Amino acid sequence: MDHVISQFIEYLQTKKYSVNSIQNHRLDLLRFKKWLESNTNSSLPQLQRLTAEHIQTYATVLEETVKPRTVARHLSSLRLFFDYLEQQGLIGVSPLDLIKFPEIEYTPPEMLSPDEIIALLEAPSLNHYLGLRDRALLELSYSSGLKIKELLNLDIEDLFLDLGFLKVRGKRERMVPVTSKAIEILTTYLNTARLPRLLNKNDSCLFPNRNGVRMTRIGFWNIVKKHARRAGIQTNITPRMLRHSFAMHLIQSGMDLTSIKLLFGYAVLDATLQYAHVNAPNYFQSFHQFHPRGRHNVEQETP
């Protein structure tokens, strides 16, 4: 079974799954393999004979130690794995086809209030290159609702600040609008603070760390925590809360869910980039109208 799992992991890598997703799928499968071996003498023929009842038994075992959301994740990994085995002709029909996933109680995402967001964004000092970089990081994160990986993978070639866009690369490439506040800070950062801090002057990464190379997730996490403390935010903040706050603040201000999905580049929308282009006038107008730091609201604040 180890060989089949290795082939499956290689398959996921060709499909450009994230490193974290692949690692989670691998660990889920290894746990299933361990359970399987403790109950049978596992080999590929045993995989071929597995039924929905076997999978349901395994799910019941998981429910004794983990939450329903984690059980659902394990089953999702198994479904992906057995679908792969079916596609490769290694089994007949996937036993996951008849499995009912556990019901997961919905809990709204944690978010910061608009006042907390403003306090966080304004916490970094603009008198030092690190403060300017941190301010640009936080402004851009909240401006465009980017995932941490998307934010840290940005290169300077991905910015089209004169047009008010940035390009997000990945499985579903898309163009995302940027608020005027973020453009202002980014422009200052690019003109004064980025290039001198690069270890390799030809490196295109937008946000280098103290060592002059691309920032890591842990590095960004520490930056968010540090400035949350400076801002006096009592909430146990996480970087993902910036993305949730971005979406919720826009929805609360009146932006529709379809536009939020478009901003996030969700798979449920076909041809994301083309869809954004066709709807550009209303789409970008509503973005700046509803975003608390968008062009419309900033102009109203100007005396």
Question: What averages of pLDDT result for each successive group of 10 residues across the chain (303 residues)?
Answer: 86 82 90 82 64 87 86 90 88 84 69 87 91 93 86 93 87 83 93 91 92 92 92 83 79 69 56 31 65 66 51
The confidence score (pLDDT) of residue 107 equals 62
- CATH H-level, domain 2-98: superfamily: Tyrosine recombinase, N-terminal domain (1.10.150.130)
Rounded CA separation 72/80 (Å): 12
3-state secondary structure of 249: helix
Enter the tokens of residue 157.
Answer: 């070639």
CB of 77 closer than 8 Å to CB of 101: no
Q: How far apart are alpha carbons 195 and 178 in whole angstroms? A: 22
Instruction: Decide: 262 and 176 in contact? Cβ < 8 Å.
Output: no
According to CATH, the topology of domain 114-301 is: hpI Integrase; Chain A (1.10.443)
Domain ranges of the chain: 2-98, 114-301
At 295 the pLDDT is 64
- pLDDT on residue 175: 87
The span from the CA of 139 to the CA of 143, in Å, is 6
289 burial (CB, 10 Å; 0-12 / 13-18 / 19+) is: middle
Whole-angstrom Cα distance, residue 95 to residue 87?
Answer: 13
Amino acid 282: pLDDT = 53
CB atoms within 10 A of CB 165: 19
